[in-house]
Structure 1
Amino acid sequence: MTVSLNLRQAESAAREEICATGASLYARGYTVGTAGNISARLDDGWLITPTDACLGRLDPARIAKVDLDGHPVSGDKPSKTLALHRAIYAASPASRGIVHTHSTHLVALTLARPEAGGVWRDDDVLPPITPYYVMKVGHAPLIRYRRPGDSEVAREVAALAATVRAVLLERLGPVVWERSVSHASYALEEFEETARLWLMATPRPEPLDETALDELRQTFGAHW
């Protein structure tokens, strides 16, 4: 009885957190229209925003729930990226929340030519130009373009999910996973802000040097 009540309370809280996060991201232009999706890990399955849902107008009761086998339990039809989210959770057991948006500056990063300040490197789409990017996001590889929902993307991201907390999908935007939905959104915002700084800075800023990076590792446990 107590276990069942705790599960229901945790699910209700996760539904509210997804809605609050979606509304905040939408209000500030991190996502537009019906682009993007958010999910949360539960002890008995997952919650994920419905397909073609606007993140700014989510209804907690209509968020899709799937069981541990991926079968729909309640809510609307799950996002077509469900396989991607499940693959990340399987590879990163500590992660409890995933946020994917089509954030303007990060998508622009994948569209710009390297000489025009586009993707820095395929294994690191942005250089370590600020300490908070290093601490909150870390290494973020590029995933080359495939159509939305392509199962190969899930396999590629799953192979990286245990060692990074974010990737950038070419032409589609960032996917970030963290210990909660809220923390995933915080990291995504830092990711997008760093892309904006990189694209607007002329000339391009130099990365933090190895001494500065080592200090962040030693002081804050940064992974870089």
Structure 2
Amino acid sequence: MWREISRIGKKLVDTGLVESHFGNISVRIGNRMLITRSGCALDEITEDGVVEVVLDGTCALDMIASSEAIVHRAIYRNTPALAIVHAHCPFAVTLSLLAENDMIEPADSEGQYFLGEIPVVMGGIGSDELADNLSSALASHRAAVVYSHGTFAIGRVLDEAYVMTTQVEHSCKIRYWYDLARK
């Protein structure tokens, strides 16, 4: 499974959806999850770049797991997700900073169809507040944007979470250009 995580990490970096050492990826396996290590370069993930931690409670490997492990746990507990991709998509982050409310409305038909409104949530990196806000938003949406930080997308498999990530960024890019052209 680490090879699948590595493949998605490389795609995220190659497409500019993250800088190498930012973002994280996880997969749920029963009552455990595989998650990228803290500080792991997503375009260079090896078997050692992924750790297995429990979903309920904490474990010793939390010390080296992504700082967002608490957020991934909450999402898995409160949604049907089996995979999570967290990226730092530049247009999504920009629109979260410009948003006048807690939703981004896609202007493009694909975004409207596949995403609907995209929630913008608050909370510090790896905080209980972020875990609560994101797991609540993702209970009824396939992706959300953390204000000034990045996107979280869920899926039944990693490829689905990756596609949702790319769709959010595409829709945010279209929305940004559309709003700019209307000024």
Counterpart of 2:125 in structure 1 is: 148
Residues 37 and 49 in structure 2, CA contact (< 8 A), matched pair in contact too: yes
Per residue, is there more strand in 1 or in 2?
Answer: 2
Distance 1:177 1:158 in 2: 10
Shift of 1:161: 2.4
Shift of 1:74: 6.8
Counterpart of 1:158 in structure 2 is: 135
Counterpart of 2:156 in structure 1 is: 179
Distance 1:79 1:156, change over 3 A: same
Q: Secondary structure at the match of 1:154?
A: helix
Residues 62 and 69 in structure 2, CA contact (< 8 A), matched pair in contact too: no
Among candidates 75, 83, 86, match of residue 97 of structure 1: 83
Counterpart of 1:132 in structure 2 is: 110
Residues 24 and 66 in structure 2, CA contact (< 8 A), matched pair in contact too: yes
Distance 1:176 1:204 in 2: 29
Q: Identify unmatched segments of 5+ residues in structure 2.
A: none
Distance 2:48 2:172 in 1: 34
Residues 111 and 168 in structure 2, CA contact (< 8 A), matched pair in contact too: yes
Residues 61 and 75 in structure 1, CA contact (< 8 A), matched pair in contact too: no
Distance 2:60 2:109 in 1: 42
Residues 108 and 175 in structure 2, CA contact (< 8 A), matched pair in contact too: no
Q: Secondary structure at the match of 1:32?
A: coil
Q: Identify unmatched segments of 5+ residues in structure 1.
A: 1-13, 112-117, 206-224
Shift of 1:53: 1.0
In the superposition, the TM-score normalised over structure 1's length comes to: 0.74
Among candidates 76, 95, 116, match of residue 109 of structure 1: 95
Among candidates 128, 149, 169, match of residue 192 of structure 1: 169
Residues 40 and 49 in structure 2, CA contact (< 8 A), matched pair in contact too: no
The answer to whether residue 99 in structure 2 is matched with residue 119 in structure 1 is yes
Counterpart of 1:222 in structure 2 is: none
Shift of 1:69: 3.1
Residues 53 and 62 in structure 2, CA contact (< 8 A), matched pair in contact too: no
Larger Rg: 1
Distance 1:33 1:68 in 2: 26
In the superposition, the TM-score normalised over structure 2's length comes to: 0.89
Q: Secondary structure at the match of 2:118?
A: coil
* One-letter identity of the residue aligned with 2:68: T
Deviates more, 1:191-200 or 1:130-139: 130-139
Shift of 1:84: 0.6
